[in-house]
Amino acid sequence: MSGIARPETAATRPGGGIVAPVARVLTVAGSDSGGGAGIQADLKTMQALGVHGMSAVTAVTVQDSLGVKEVHQLPPALVRAQMEAVLADIGADAVKTGMLHSADTIRAVAEVLRDCPELPLVLDPVVAATSGAALLEPAALAELRRSLLPRVYVLTPNLPEACLLLGRAPGAIDSVDAMLDCAHALLQLGPRYVLLKGGHLAGAAARGQAVDVLVGGEEASGGHPAAVESAPAGSVKILAGDWWDTPHTHGTGCALAAALASYLALGRTVDDAARAAKSYVAAAIAASYPLGSGRGTLAHLPPIRPYRRPARASRALPSRGPDGAR
């Protein structure tokens, strides 16, 4: 299929398709048989936020609460076909990518998205599972930098992923100032915005605070959706939130990127979308629950009823409202 066919007989929204009664987000990611991460986490997040979620599966993983046992990549042509089918008929208001696994799949995804330059792309650069299992082939990293990063609207790496993308030593980011330096360096790879997650920052648990940084604006590369309102050029935002003392955090990165894409699809600014996504994930962590013999998962679908207090008990619990507002 060459290009995305656009219906011409009805009013359309960005990404093609007939006007939809709800915002639409396409996730391109791997499947988690344990249900905590990947497309399962993405679709739960989108449903919780009132967005219609669609999926293009890139790989099937065999995993449980203890980790990833096997990874089986789907043919890149099949990934492309899933994306084209959804975009040609239903359309989308945003796209989120997670585990892409191989250089061939990255190329296929990039080629499809060239036909949809107006769609904001949120890229979660999934390199490894929480358990340490590799989820991106070594040869794919260069292809990710070349084919997709210049097309990205918001990049959402954690600290280890950021170090890998920049070729820096693991653990090189040891302060908020270092996070800001790293985030600005990532902007030079092409994304319009970088939301760098600080959950791995040394001392975060002791401080009882999870700090993320959002940098970007119009000075970064072009080719991104003009319809989505941008923050001022060169803007820097420090997003601080409660640190939740629990091991049951499987799928947090997936949920954050999916929530961010959902809020962008709903028309939020990048700044508002990032803050709301962080609040959503905090509420889902507060209500997380144990599963199996390892890490439990976030509680996505409402009602989200936190039963766990943050490390600093004086801090108020996040709102349980669907928009993530406190």
Rounded to the nearest 5°, which phi and psi values hold at 82?
-60, -45
Tell me the pairing of strands 154-155 and 52-64: unpaired
Q: How many CA atoms lie within 13 A of 121 on its CB side?
A: 27
CATH for 24-286 (3.40.50.2300, 3.20.20.70, 3.40.630.10, 3.40.1190.20):
3.40.1190.20
- Strand extents, DSSP E, the chain: 24-32, 52-64, 67-73, 94-97, 121-123, 154-155, 193-196, 209-216, 235-242
Identified catalytic residue from 190, 251, 294, 296:
251
Active site includes 251?
A: yes
Active site includes 253?
A: yes
Identified catalytic residue from 61, 97, 156, 249:
249
Active site includes 197?
A: yes
Active site includes 217?
A: no
What is the spatial distance between Cα 5 and Cα 1, in angstroms, rounded to a whole number?
9
Mean pLDDT by 10 residues, the chain (326 residues): 39 51 96 96 96 98 93 97 97 97 96 96 86 74 94 96 89 87 95 90 67 77 40 72 84 96 97 96 92 91 58 45 45
Identified catalytic residue from 116, 163, 182, 254:
254
Active site includes 324?
A: no
- The model carries a pTM of 0.83
Identified catalytic residue from 197, 278, 294, 324:
197
The position carrying tokens 């650069």 is 125
Active site includes 182?
A: no
Identified catalytic residue from 16, 190, 198, 253:
253
Residue ranges per domain, the chain? 24-286
DSSP letter for each residue of 10-31: S-B-TTSSBPPSS-EEEEEEEE
C-alpha distances in Å from residue 231, one per residue of 157, 270, 279: 20, 7, 19
